[in-house]
Amino acid sequence: MSSRRISIALTALVVGACAPSHPATAPAPSPASVAARELTADQQVMQALNRLTFGPRPGDAERVRAMGVDRWIDEQLHPERLPDSAATLVAARFPVLAKSGAELLRDYPPPGQLLARLRSSTMTAADSMRIRAAGRESYRVVGELQTAKVARAVASERQLQEVMTDFWENHFNVFAGKDRIRYHLPAYDATIRANALGKFRDLLGAVAHSDAMLQYLDNFQSIADSTHTTLRAAPRGGGLAPQQRLALQRRLARMTPEERQRALQLGAQLQQRRPRGLNENYARELMELHTLGVDGGYTQKDVIEVARALTGWSIKGPAQGGGFVFRPEAHDADAKVVLGHKLAAGRGVEDGEEVLDIVAHHPSTARFIAYKLARRFVSDTPSAALVARAAATFTRTDGDIRETLRTIVTSPEFFSQSAYRAKVKSPFELVVSAARALGAQVDTTPRTAQLIGRLGEPIFGHSDPNGYPETGDAWMNTGAILNRINFGLVVAANRLPGARLGEWPVAARLRGAPREQQVDGVVAALFGGAVSPDTRAVLVSGENPLLARAGSQAAIDSADTDTTAMTMTPAPVNDRRAERRAERLASDPAVAAREAIKPGAGRAQPAVIGQLPPLNGLAQIVGLALGAPEFQRR
C-alpha cells in the first residue's frame, strides 16, 4: 500500500471517530433463529460481550441488555457509526503510528546501517556511544505499536473492529524480529484495521501490497529465473534506476577514499548475498494460510505458477519513501496456469492481481475463512452446518467479512449452551479482559504488553507465518494454568498498570460487606451472576487447591520482573531490583520490544517472581475470581 493510501486510511479513521453516531437499523434475525437460541437473555448478553469484545467493562452488560443484544451486535458490525474519541486519543500518544516506514527508518536507523557508520575512521568514542544508543532506539517502533495495540483494545468503543484486527493480524502474521519489518508494522496495522470488516479481496490485496508482507515472506526479491522471459531487461548499474545511481554517486563523492572503499566493498558483499531467482514463500502461504487452506485443492505446480505471477512485486527503497512497486525487469512474462485459469503471456502486474482474484473467489477460500471465523467466535470445533452457512454468505456477498461474521454471531450455534464459555482466552485476551473488567485506565507504558509476552504471546512476536494458536489446548498446560491463576492475584495486588482495585466501581459498595455478600457481588460483576460450585467454594474459602498443590513458590512472572531472569528461584518479597528494573522498562519501550520479539518468546514460560504480598478480603476474592476457569474462558 502506498504512503498516500495509508494516509487516507488513517484520516478516514480519525474523521470517523469524530463523526456523530447514527442509529443502526439492525437486520432482524429470523424468528426461528431466535427461538433456537439455548441461552437465557442474560447469558446471550454475556456471550456477545465476551466474544465480540475483549471483555465487558463495568456497565456494559446493563447497556447491552437495555439496547437489545441483536441491535448491539449490529452496532459493533458497523464501527464507522461509533464515535471513538478514546482510541483517537490513544493513537495520538504514540508518534510512530503517524509515520511512514521511510520516516521511521530515518528517525530510528537500523543497527546494520549504524554499524557501517561506526566503521568510519572519523567517528569519535562519543559518536559511537550515541549511535549505539540510536540502534537500541530502533526497537521503539515495535514497543510503541505493541503498547498502542493493547491500549486500543482496552479503550476502544469499536471493540469488534479491534477483535477483528487482532484476528486478521494473526491470520496474516508477520514477525517483527525479521530484517527491517518492524519499520513497516505501524502501516501494516493501519491497513488491516481499515479493512477488517470490509471485502476480503480488498483486505487480501492490501496485505499483498504491504511492505511488511512483501518483506516477511521474501517476495520483494523474487525474480523470474533465467529460463523465462521478462518484460524488460534489468537496468545497468547493479539493478539501480538512473535516479538511484545518481544519488549513490553523490553520496560516494562526499566520502573520504577510505570510506568510499569500505562502502563499495560492503555493497559488493550485500549484492553477492542477495538471493536470486524465484521465491515461493509468499505464493505457498498465500494459498495454504491466507486463502484456500492446506486442503484447498492446490498443487506444488500451482505454488510455482503463483510465484511466477507475483515476480516483480517489490518494495521501493527508503530514499523513494518505501511502498509497493512493480519491477517489470523482474517479472516472469511467460504464460501461466493457476488453479486451472490461464494467464496469457506478455502481461505485468495484472498477473498478480488476477491471482488474488482467483484465490479470493475460490470455493475453498469461502470454506476456510468461514471455518476460521467460526472457530474464533463460536467453538474450537465449529459444526459443519454453521461453516457451510457462513461460507454461503461469504460467496453470496462477494467475500463481505461483515455479513459473513453476522451469519456466525447471530446463529443458534453462537447462542448454544455448548458454545457458552467454551473458548479459552489467549494471553492477550486474558490480560486485556482483566483490565476492562476492572475499568482500568489506559496503560501508555510497555508494561502490560510485556506481561502479555511473558504469558506466552509477544505481540508481533510469532516467527512462523501460521500465527499464534487459535484453540484452547495450545494455551493450557499445568504451568500455564498456574501462571493464569497467579495472574489474577497480580491484578488484585494492583500490579497491572492502570488497574486499581480501589477505583473499581463495584469495590465501593462491597468493601466491608460480609464475605459471602462480597463473593456474590464479584460473581455478579465479573461473571453475570453464575459460576460453578467449585469456583464459588474457592472464592468463599480463599483457598485454591491448585495453588496449594503447586506450592507457594509458583507465582507468575509479573509486569514488575526481568524477562531475562526466568528461574525457579523466588526473590525476596522486598527485592528492589525487580522494582527498579520495572521502572526502567516502563520508560524504555525499545528494550522491552527487543526482548519481546526474540525467537521462541511466544511460548508460555514457567516463570517465578518474588512472593506476592498476602491478599485478603475483597482483593483476595477478586484475585481468585480472575484466575477462575470461568474468567479464563470467554
Q: Burial code of 55-73, b = ≥16 C-beta within 10 A, e = fewer?
A: bbbeebbeebeeeebbebb
Band (pLDDT 50/70/90 cuts) for residue 607 is: very low
Burial class (CB in 10 A: 0-12, 13-18, 19+), 271: exposed
Residue 386 lies in a domain: yes
- Domain's final residue, options 419, 453, 486: 419
Split into its structural domains, the chain has a count of 4
Considering the domain architecture, whether residues 436 and 411 belong to the same structural domain is answered as no
Considering the domain architecture, whether residues 191 and 107 belong to the same structural domain is answered as yes
Q: Phi and psi (nearest 5°) for 64?
A: -65, -40
Domain that holds residue 332: 219-360
- Predicted local confidence at residue 478, as pLDDT: 86
Band (pLDDT 50/70/90 cuts) for residue 561 is: very low
Residues 6+ apart with CB under 8 A from 149: 166, 189, 449, 459
Per-residue pLDDT at 80 exceeds 90: yes
| Helix/strand/coil for 72 | helix
Per-residue pLDDT at 36 exceeds 90: no
Considering the domain architecture, whether residues 197 and 282 belong to the same structural domain is answered as no
Burial class (CB in 10 A: 0-12, 13-18, 19+), 603: exposed
* 544 vs 238, higher pLDDT: 544
Considering the domain architecture, whether residues 620 and 479 belong to the same structural domain is answered as yes
Considering the domain architecture, whether residues 577 and 539 belong to the same structural domain is answered as yes
Q: What is the pLDDT of residues 346-397, one digit of tens each?
A: 999 999 999 999 999 999 999 999 999 999 999 999 999 999 999 999 999 9
- Predicted local confidence at residue 364, as pLDDT: 99
Residues 6+ apart with CB under 8 A from 585: 446, 447, 450, 591, 592
Considering the domain architecture, whether residues 441 and 403 belong to the same structural domain is answered as no
Considering the domain architecture, whether residues 93 and 121 belong to the same structural domain is answered as yes
Considering the domain architecture, whether residues 447 and 593 belong to the same structural domain is answered as yes
Q: Burial code of 295-306, b = ≥16 C-beta within 10 A, e = fewer?
A: ebebeeebbbbb
* 101 vs 121, higher pLDDT: 101
Amino acid (one-letter) located at 360: A
Residue 518 lies in a domain: yes
Residue 31 lies in a domain: no
Residue 178 lies in a domain: yes
**pLDDT (mean) for 45-68:** 98
Considering the domain architecture, whether residues 356 and 368 belong to the same structural domain is answered as no
CB 458 within 8 A of CB 596: yes
Q: Phi and psi (nearest 5°) for 314?
A: -140, -165
Residue 43 lies in a domain: no
- Rounded CA separation 175/177 (Å): 5
Q: What is the pLDDT of residues 103-150, one digit of tens each?
A: 998 888 876 666 565 555 566 666 667 666 666 777 889 999 999 999
Q: What is the pLDDT of residues 460-496, one digit of tens each?
A: 999 999 999 999 999 998 889 999 999 999 999 999 9
Burial class (CB in 10 A: 0-12, 13-18, 19+), 565: middle
Residue 53 lies in a domain: no
Amino acid (one-letter) located at 617: G
Positive or negative torsion for Cα 196, 199, 200, 202: negative
Considering the domain architecture, whether residues 159 and 253 belong to the same structural domain is answered as no
Residue 606 lies in a domain: yes
- Domain's final residue, options 419, 440, 466: 419
Q: Phi and psi (nearest 5°) for 230?
A: -110, 165
**Distances from the Cα of 464 to the Cαs of 146, 563, 602, in angstroms?**
18, 22, 10
Q: What is the pLDDT of residues 195-233, one digit of tens each?
A: 999 999 999 999 999 999 999 999 999 999 988 999 887
Residue 60 lies in a domain: no
Considering the domain architecture, whether residues 389 and 459 belong to the same structural domain is answered as no
- Domain's final residue, options 177, 202, 227: 202
Considering the domain architecture, whether residues 372 and 306 belong to the same structural domain is answered as no
Instruction: Return the minimum-mean-pLDDT range out of 122-131, 173-182, 248-257.
Output: 122-131
Instruction: Return the minimum-mean-pLDDT range out of 245-254, 263-272, 274-283.
Output: 263-272
- Predicted local confidence at residue 552, as pLDDT: 43
Q: What is the pLDDT of residues 420-458, one digit of tens each?
A: 999 999 999 999 999 999 999 999 999 999 999 999 999
CB 281 within 8 A of CB 217: yes
